[in-house]
A and B are shown apart, each in its own frame.
Chain A
Amino acid sequence: MRASLSRILRTAVFAVSLIFIPSVFAQEGYFITYSHQMEEPGNLEVGLKSVTASPKDGNAFLANAWEFEYGVKAWWTSELYLDSQHTANESSVFTGFRWENRFRPLLREHWINPVLYVEFENINGADKSLLEVVGHDTREEFAERNDRSEKKREAELKLILSGNVKGWNVSENMIAEKNMAGEPWEFGYALGVSRPLALLASARPCVFCRENFSAGAEMYGGLGDRYSFGLHDTSHYLAPVVEWRLSGSTTFKFSPGFGLNDKSEHFLFRFGVSYEIDQIASRLKSH
Chain B
Amino acid sequence: MRKLRIVLLILCVALPALAISIEVGDGRWQARVPEAARQRQNPMANESSAVAAGAKLFQRNCASCHGKQAEGMAKHPDLHTERVKNATPGELEWLLKNGSLKNGMPSWSRLPEPQRWQLVSFLKSLN
What is A's interface to B at a CB cutoff of 8 Å? 35-38, 40-43, 71, 73-76, 101, 103-109, 116, 118, 120, 155, 157, 164, 166-167, 169, 178, 180, 182, 196, 199-205, 211, 247-248, 278-279, 282
Pair B23/A103 contact, Cβ less than 8 Å = no
B31 at the A/B interface (Cβ < 8 Å)?
no
> At the interface, yes or no: B18 with Cβ under 8 Å from chain A?
yes
Interface of A is mostly: loop
Q: Tell whether, in the assembled complex, residue B12 and residue A74 are in contact, meaning their CB atoms are under 8 Å apart.
A: no
CB of B13, distance to nearest CB on chain A (Å): 11
Are B115 and A201 in touch, CB under 8 angstroms?
Answer: yes
CA distance A157 to B18 in the complex (A): 17
Interface string of B22-59 (1 = CB under 8 A from A): 11001000001000000000000000010011101101
Q: Taking chain B's interface residues, is the majority helix, strand, or loop, or is none over half, making it mixed?
A: helix
How far, in whole Å, are A108 and B100 apart by their CA atoms in the complex?
A: 8
- Take A73-B101, A74-B104 as given contacts and tell me if A107 and B4 are in contact as well, using a CB distance cutoff of 8 Å: no
Bound-complex Cα distance A157 to B101 (A): 23
* B residues contacting the other copy or chain, number (CB 8 A): 45
Q: Least Cβ distance of B17 to chain A in Å?
A: 10
For residue A245, which residue of chain B has the nearest CB? B60
Residue in chain B with minimal CB distance to A168: B112
A145 → chain B closest CB, angstroms:
30
**For residue B103, which residues in chain A have a CB less than 8 angstroms away from its CB?**
74
Q: Do A196 and B112 form a contact, CB below 8 Å, given A107-B101, A108-B98?
A: yes
A196: chain B residues at CB < 8 Å are 112
Of all chain B residues, the one with the shortest Cβ separation from A40 is B106
Choice from A105, A120, A247 contacting B18 with Cβ under 8 Å: A105
Known A-B contacts A40-B106, A73-B104, A180-B1; the reply to A109 vs B15 at CB < 8 A is: no
